[in-house]
Amino acid sequence: MKTEVAYMKMNNFVNMSKRVLFTIGLPLIIYLALGILRPDIYFKWSTFVMLFTQSISYAVVGWSMVFGMSVGLFDFSVGSRVILAGLVGIHMALYFGVVGFILGIIVSSLVMAAFTGGAYAFFKIPSIITGFAALLIFESMATIYQKQFSVIVDDNIKVFGTSPGIYMIGLLSFISVYLIFNNTKFGYQIKAIGGNENIARSMGINGMKLKVMTYIVGCAFLAIAAMIKVGYTGTMLGVTSMQSMNQCFTPMMGVMIGLYLTSCNPIIGVFIGQFAITVVSSGLVALGIESRLQNVVVGVFLLLFIGLKTNGEKLFSKDKMHKKAIE
C-alpha cells in the first residue's frame, strides 16, 4: 500500500515537473536562442528586466481580453479604449490629481465597455464588426480630445508604470483575474459557454448576457492597463487610421498562446505567451530585421505554434501507429 502511494506521489511530481518545464520552455528556448545570437544584449539582467516589465502592460490587456475570447468574442477596440481612457485620466489629473486620474480612467473605461457591449447585444452583429466600429469612434474622439490639454503627466502619475508600482499592480491584476476566471460563477459560466454554447444554454445560462458581461469585467483590467501605459510612457497620444490595433494585436496573440497552452492555467499561459511574443519582437529589432517584416515573422511564429498545438497530438499519434505497424 505504501509503495503504491509513493508511486502515485512520484508520478504526480513527474507530471507536474513536465507541465512546468513545457510552460516555461517556450519563452526560455526563444530567449536562449537570441542570447546565442546576441549575447551582448540578452545575457544582461537589465535586458530581462526590461522585457519582463514591457510584458506586464501587454499581459494586463490580454487578461482583459481572455474573458471575451474564451466565449468566441474578438474585440479590436481595446487599443483605442486604452488610449481614450488614458487621455481622460490625464485630463482629470490636471484638476483632481492622482484620484482624478484613477477615477477618470475607470469611469471612461466602463462607459466605453458598456457602449461596445451594448452595441454588440442590441444590433446582434459579429463582435469583430462591433469592435472595428467602436475602434473608429474612439480613435476619432481621442484625436480630437487630446488637443484640449497637455498630455504630459507629472511624476506622481508615473509611479503606475515604474518600479515598484508596476510590479505591484501587475501582481494584483494577476491575482484578481486568476480568481475571477477560476473561482467565480462568472468564470465557470464562461468556460461552459466556451466549451459548448448550446449545452450551456440548455443548463439555463444566458449566453448573450454573459458575453456582454465579458466587456464589463474586462474593462476593469483595461483601465489598469491604461494607468500602467500612461505611467510607463509619461504621456498618451491619440492615433487614427486604425493604428490603435497595434496595441490590440500583440496582447491578442498572447491570449491565443495562453488558451492553447494546456500545460498550465490559461491566465498564467497568457503571461507566458505575452512574454514570448515580447521577446520575439525585441529579438527581431536586435537582429536588425526591417520593421515591416517583424509582423510577418511574429505572425508565422503564431501560426506555427497554434498549428502544432492543434494538430500535434494527431501527428504524433499517427507517427506512433505507423511505427507499430512497421514493427
Q: Is the dihedral of CA 162, 234, 61, 122 positive or negative?
A: positive
Distance CA 131, CA 119 (A): 10
pLDDT 10s digits, 232-246: 999 999 998 888 888
**What average pLDDT score do residues 260-286 get?**
83
Q: What is the pLDDT of residue 64?
A: 94
Burial tier of 243 (Cβ tally within 10 Å: 0-12, 13-18, 19+) = middle
**CB 247 within 8 Å of CB 79:** yes
Burial per residue of 174-184, b for 16 or more beta-carbon CB atoms within 10 angstroms, e otherwise:
beebbebbeee
Q: What is the pLDDT of residue 321?
A: 47
Map grid coordinates 475571477 to a residue: 180
Max mean pLDDT range (8-17, 71-80, 254-263, 301-310): 71-80
Q: What is the pLDDT of residue 256?
A: 84
State the pLDDT confidence band at 78, using cuts at 50, 70 and 90.
very high
Query: If you classify domain 26-39+46-313 with CATH, what class do you get?
Result: mainly alpha
**What average pLDDT score do residues 154-164 get?**
91
**What average pLDDT score do residues 281-291 get?**
75
First to last CA, the chain: 37
State the pLDDT confidence band at 320, using cuts at 50, 70 and 90.
very low
**CB 236 within 8 Å of CB 83:** yes
Q: What is the pLDDT of residue 12?
A: 58
Average pLDDT, the chain: 84
pLDDT 10s digits, 112-149: 999 999 999 999 999 989 999 999 999 999 999 998 88
Is residue 209 scored above 50 in pLDDT?
A: yes
Selection from 181, 200, 186, 198 nearest residue 265 by Cα: 181
Spacing of C-alpha 240 from chain mean position:
22
pLDDT 10s digits, 101-120: 999 999 999 999 999 999 99
Is residue 30 scored above 50 in pLDDT?
A: yes
Selection from 221, 181, 257, 186 nearest residue 81 by Cα: 221
Distance CA 158, CA 164 (A): 11
Is residue 19 scored above 80 in pLDDT?
A: no
Q: What is the pLDDT of residue 98?
A: 94
| Cell numbers placing 199 | 449545452
- The model's pTM is 0.85
Q: What is the pLDDT of residue 322?
A: 47
DSSP labels for 127-140?
HHHHHHHHHHHHHH
Q: What is the pLDDT of residue 37?
A: 85
Distance CA 267, CA 46 (A): 26
Burial per residue of 133-149, b for 16 or more beta-carbon CB atoms within 10 angstroms, e otherwise:
bbbbbbbebbbebbeee
Of 304 and 178, the structure prediction assigns the larger pLDDT to 178
